[in-house]
Amino acid sequence: MGGVGSGPFGKIRDLSGVSRSVNNTREVEVVVIGAGQAGLAGAYHLRRTGFEPERDFVVLDHSPGPGGAWQFRWPSLTYGKVHGMHALPGMELTGADPARPSSEVIREYFDTYERTFDLRVRRPVDVRAVREGEGGRLLVETSDGTWSTRALINATGTWDRPFWPRCPGQETFRGRQLHTAQYPGPEEFAGLRVVVVGGGASGTQHLLEIAPYAAATTWVTRRPPVFREGPFSEDVGRAAVALVEERVRQGLPPKSVVSVTGLPLNDAIRQGTADGVLDRLPMFDRITPDGVEWDDGRRVDADVILWATGFRAVIDHLAPLRLREPGGGIRIEGTRAVADPRTHLVGYGPSASTIGANRAGRAAVRDIRRLLADERLTAA
């Protein structure tokens, strides 16, 4: 595998195990699934520590182009409105116009990053299943053929699995129902009566954007929203991540960090509260053809129900490995799946943030290098 890489890392160290094709199955040391923040962080650390793309590792991404989930964000989410976008390892994002759509800014940044570090992402590639192979390897079955690998970095995020709660009468609604994943921007709601469901960052952002256009807005959440005053300190962040991490250690489905920390109480939130836009109602009990109703007799007529109800981890392709615990989640230590130490989940649970994904990518590569070194010693 030796030689000189075309990226900025220069000479690549010999790790042995050159990629080859066996019975139309290509062999590599590591497969990275997903090229969002988490996947690119993992690929960067593989590249930096001596793995050569396409020979020792491959990055598979099902999106049409660079940018991860950011490329699908609505146009009104400008870069200046993005909270907590942390740079990818090794290259800062500088000089971005805060008025430009975040989808454009981050797509261009990711594209430059992939080319600068010669990560050679393959796309669009759909990963259909990961299952046990021969000789202690994993088989990654995709729309681009099958890959045999000694280790896996799964960085598939959540964007492709929006969560739609079920509610009595939902199928009878004559208006439009859509999820944050389909949110087109506020202009499409002009003159309409809109019910927004969800107490997270997306729900509040949608409400504040839609209110000036809509005929009426109603905010509904299952639990009263928690707004956090003061700066988001490092201690607060660590405590929040620790709570999420404890859930995945127990094999429970992860919660978002925002669900633990609460929402920042900024000027826009204060103004929205003062204007009555963020006047929250409890979750309705049923959906009718013309709106929503509560058991106490309250009803709200609506033309649109916008479900800002979050996302779930995209991990169904890992089902053949039987990693799920009875609690419904995958139990991990660090980034490693406890049930299969060859499999690392990056951007899952406590690392589902831009800074967390960077750290998790580095940790996953460190553990993978150790795993592969131990295998080589055993084989010798």
User: What CATH number has the domain spanning 3-160+313-379?
Assistant: 3.50.50.60
What percent helix, strand, coil does the chain show, rounded to 5? Answer: 30, 25, 45
Q: Let me know the angle formed at the C-alpha of 376 by 372 and 379, rounded to the nearest 5 degrees.
A: 135
How many whole angstroms separate alpha carbon 371 and alpha carbon 368? 5
Residue 68's pLDDT band, with cuts at 50, 70 and 90, is: very high
Instruction: Indicate the pTM of the whole model.
Output: 0.85
Residue 1's pLDDT band, with cuts at 50, 70 and 90, is: very low
Q: In what order do the strands lie in the sheet with 291-293?
A: 286-288, 291-293, 299-301
pLDDT, tens only, 342-363: 999 998 876 666 667 888 899 9
Mean pLDDT of 43-52: 96
Find out whether 56 and 3 touch, Cβ atoms under 8 Å: no
Give the list of residues 6+ apart from residue 313 with CB closer than 8 angstroms, or none: 156, 157, 158, 161, 253, 254, 348
Mean pLDDT of 59-72: 94
pLDDT at 11 over 50: no
State CA 305 to chain mean position distance.
24
Find out whether 306 and 195 touch, Cβ atoms under 8 Å: yes
What pLDDT was estimated at residue 260? 60
pLDDT at 301 over 60: yes
Mean pLDDT of 210-226: 94
What pLDDT was estimated at residue 137? 97
DSSP secondary structure letters along 72-134: GS-TT-BGGG-S--PPPTT----S--TTSBHHHHHHHHHHHHHHHTT---B-S--EEEEEE-S
pLDDT, tens only, 114-134: 999 999 999 999 999 999 999
What pLDDT was estimated at residue 7? 47
Q: Does the fold of domain 170-226+262-307 match that of domain 3-160+313-379?
A: yes
Residue 251 three-state SS: coil
pLDDT at 12 over 50: no
Residue 166 three-state SS: coil
Break the chain into its structural domains and give their ranges.
Answer: 3-160+313-379, 170-226+262-307
pLDDT, tens only, 174-211: 999 999 999 999 999 999 999 999 998 889 999 999 99
Residue type, position 357, single letter: A
**Overall fold of domain 170-226+262-307:** FAD/NAD(P)-binding domain (3.50.50)
